[in-house]
């Protein structure tokens, strides 16, 4: 039987979003004009244009934290929690981002961070192009529900993995786990849903 935890998180660094998208260029449109017109497409949003964190982003972040920590499961020799987080944790709903004042963040209120990035998307690429990434401010909060199906993942184990995910994995594009400097967070609360 699953145990569901409600987790409130606050960004301690800005977060960039980088959703893949496909929008046709207009005839004669330059790359710069295309980027200016379409950069908000990189945002993850719901039907009401609220900016969200997709469920899979949180699940994968926890999986990556388990892999990073390689913490042994008590009584299981060298077996780690990695496989338990990969298949024993689920997040079903997107998490709506809110300002420090508690206001829902709408897509049209987000500002871009312009960066010179490799044109082929590969780290170390020699040809660089300017791209705009939607930047979510430090201090932004969100609440997510994490369903734990695996009994080996106790509240304490989940808490440790969430804390280290905030420090060493992060969320979004150019997050710390990928060599970036964005997407760090802290856990404000972790409570079991009744």
Residues 135-161: tens digit of each pLDDT: 999 999 999 999 999 999 999 999 999
- Region 170-181: mean pLDDT is 93
Residues 41-53 have pLDDT tens digits of: 999 999 999 999 9
- DSSP secondary structure string, the chain? --EEEEEEEEESS-EE-------PPPTT--HHHHHHHHGGGGS-B-TT-BBEE-HHHHHHHHHHHHHHH-PBPTTSTT-BSHHHHHHHEE--S-EE-B-TTSPBPBGGGPEEEEEEEETTS-TT-SSEEEEEEEEEPTT-EEEEEEEE--TTS-HHHHHHHHHHHHHHT-SSBTBGGGT-SB--EEEEEEEE--
| pLDDT attached to residue 130 | 87
């Amino acid at each position: 039987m699953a145990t569901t935890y409600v987790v409130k998180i606050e960004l301690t660094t800005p977060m960039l979003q980088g959703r893949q998208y496909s929008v046709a260029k207009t005839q004669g449109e330059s790359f710069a004009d295309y980027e200016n017109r379409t950069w908000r497409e990189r945002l993850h949003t719901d039907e009401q244009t609220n900016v969200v964190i997709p469920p899979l982003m949180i699940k994968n972040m926890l999986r990556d934290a388990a892999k990073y920590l390689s913490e042994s499961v008590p009584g299981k020799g060298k077996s780690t929690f990695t496989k338990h987080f990969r298949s024993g944790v689920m997040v079903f709903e997107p998490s709506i981002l809110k300002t420090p004042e508690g206001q829902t963040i709408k897509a049209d209120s987000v500002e871009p961070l312009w960066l010179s990035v490799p044109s082929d998307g590969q780290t170390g690429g020699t040809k660089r192009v300017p791209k705009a990434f939607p930047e979510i401010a430090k201090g932004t909060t969100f609440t997510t529900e994490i369903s734990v199906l695996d009994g080996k993942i106790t509240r304490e184990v989940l808490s440790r993995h969430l804390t280290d995910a905030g420090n060493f994995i992060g969320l979004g594009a150019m997050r710390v786990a990928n060599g970036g400097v964005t997407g760090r967070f802290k856990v404000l609360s972790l409570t079991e849903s009744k």
